[in-house]
Every structure is written in structure tokens, then in C-alpha cells.
Amino acid sequence: MGACKVFSLTTIMCLHSPGVSGQALIQQQNFNKWILYMRAGHLPTVLLDGEDEATWIRIPRDRLLNVSDDPIEAERCILSSTNDEVDKINLHVLNKLPGDTHDLLSADAICRGTNNFDEMQSMYPTKFLNTLQFSGIPNHILQLKVGAPILLLRNTNLKKGLCNGTRLVVTQISRRVLEAVIITGTHAGEKTLIGRIDMTPTDTCWPFHMRRRQFPVKVCFAMTINKSQGQTFNHVCAYLEMPVFTQRGQLYVAASRVTSRDGLRFYINNNEKCPNNLTRNVVYKEVFYNLPLMSRD
């Protein structure tokens, strides 16, 4: 059996600012330590009545948005745990952006290589295919405005910085091509054109293979916590209408996207189950149990 060597994360590079000193440096170091403790599951926890395990942690009150406030109005990059919440936030903010909304429709079809193609085509007409939604693929109706931030969902041209997760701002819209300015990475500030491409969902419950021809982008005033991995923002609002408990480490990912403590806010609504300064932090420490560790020498 092979041996494992465990490397511990000690510095969050988003927070690495060599020029910071004095009180600001102390605050940054404390924030770095708080996030690392969150990642490792070392923050003090609270056991709620009726639960078997203490997984709730307290969020500092000066990092909270009041439940009475409208969290969607917060001028932040909003991170949430589910696609449904993200879509709701994006539509709300897009409607407030000045300018005309463009409804860009996809071309949906069942792939000809599907078994019993003729039968499937008659059972699942195009109008039905238009209603289907898939993770990582734009919906049939893609609503955009000039000035809206978008997230690229596919690797289209790596040499030009157009890869999955690249953020851009829309500058022009037509039926067959989008013009946008890249705002992340080494190609930030460059204009580019994005065309429609064919996308096929790979993990579905349907008895057919489907092709959707659409622009490989989605509006990203808000994005899922999973999709934000690898991104860095000046301001983040972690929008937690429900606790982040479905996947290990999601709360850490959300909290570590910012460049400073001042840039992080939480919106927590526990619907009176418990105080709104509590949220779940799930860490599976068992993954390191009984591992044969290599010598640190």
C-alpha cells in the first residue's frame, strides 16, 4: 500500500499582500487563520437541539447582512450553493440593469445517434426539449443585456484566455455572435467574439442524447460556490438562504474568494430555526484517518 504525505495549507494567496503592515497586517493574519480553521473544521461549533452532531459555527456579526435588508441589492459578487438561487439572483439584478433585454433562443434537437431516434423524436418534441435545464449548459432562453457580466462555460480558445470560468462583460449582442471584454486573467481588457456552439449534456435521466446550440455563457452577477473555485473577488456576499451542507468545504471556498476581510459579507436566513449568525461548516476529517504517512524528514 502506498504512503501518503499530507501538506497543510498555511497561506491563502488571495490574502497575500506583502505591502500590508501594522494593524492591517494583524487583521489580515487573523482573517487568514479564521478561514484556515474553517477549512480544517477547527472553529468552535454549536450543537442545536434535536441534532446529533455539532456542525454550526458563528459568523462574526460585523460580517453579516441583516435579514431585513435585500441581499440581492448588495453590490457584491454573490455566491450561493444552488443553481436555482443563482438564477433567481441573476434575473433580479439583470432586470435592474438599464437597457433592452435580448432573449437569445437555443436550437434544441435529439441527436440522430440516439436509439429509436424516430420514436424518441415523436415522444419528445422540440417544445419539450426547450423546457429542459442541465447543469453547465445554458437554458433555452438566454437573457442578456449590454453591460452584463457573463461567465464562459466552455474552453473555446485557451490561447486567447477563453476557458471555462473566464468572466467577461457584454459589449454588443446579435443573434449569432456576442462581443465581450475579458475581465479576468492575463487577457483582461481584450475584446473577443463568442459564437454559438453545440453542447450535449452527459449526465441526464432521459432516454435520449440531446444537442443544444446556444452561446456557452451565463449571466454572473451571482454564481454557485462550486463555480467560483479558482476565482478572486474584491467583494463577496455569501448568500445562504439554506445552510451549505451538501458538499464538504463549500463554506471555506466561499469565504476564501476575497482579498480582504472587509470584502466579505454573509447573508444568512435560518428561518427562525436558530440565530442568523450561525451556519453549517461540514468538514470530513475521516478522510485522513488511518493513512500511512510518509516521513516528514
- DSSP code of residue 18: T
Domain boundary among 170, 197, 220: 220
Rounded Cα distance between 82 and 226, Å, is: 9
Q: How many CB atoms lie within 10 A of CB 296?
A: 6
Per-residue pLDDT, 243 = 63
Per-residue pLDDT, 197 = 96
Domain boundary among 171, 202, 220: 220
Q: How many CB atoms lie within 10 A of CB 34?
A: 15
- Winning range, highest mean pLDDT, from 81-85, 105-109, 274-278: 105-109
Q: In which band, very low, low, confident or very high, does the pLDDT at 4 lie, cut at 50, 70 and 90?
A: confident
Q: What pTM did the predictor assign?
A: 0.73
Domain boundary among 202, 220, 238: 220
Q: In which band, very low, low, confident or very high, does the pLDDT at 297 lie, cut at 50, 70 and 90?
A: very low
Encode pLDDT of 64-103 as tens digits: 987 766 555 554 589 988 888 898 999 999 999 999 999 9
Rounded Cα distance between 297 and 294, Å, is: 9
Residue 49 CA: distances (Å) to CA of 8, 53, 274: 34, 10, 10
Rounded Cα distance between 32 and 246, Å, is: 24
Per-residue pLDDT, 270 = 86
Query: Are 133 and 191 in a shared domain?
Result: yes
**Which residues partner with 278 through β-bridges?**
58
Query: Are 124 and 216 in a shared domain?
Result: yes
The domain in which residue 268 lies consists of 13-72+225-288
Per-residue pLDDT, 296 = 46
Q: How many domains does the chain have?
A: 2
Cβ-contact 161, 186 below 8 angstroms = yes
- Using a 10 angstrom Cβ sphere, with 0-12 exposed, 13-18 middle and 19 or more buried, the burial of residue 41 is middle
**Which residues partner with 180 through β-bridges?**
170, 192
Query: Are 61 and 119 in a shared domain?
Result: no
Rounded Cα distance between 165 and 157, Å, is: 12
* 229-232 contacts, C-beta under 8 A, 24 or more apart: 229/253, 230/165, 231/165, 231/167, 231/184, 231/257, 232/14, 232/257, 232/258, 232/259
Query: Are 215 and 249 in a shared domain?
Result: no
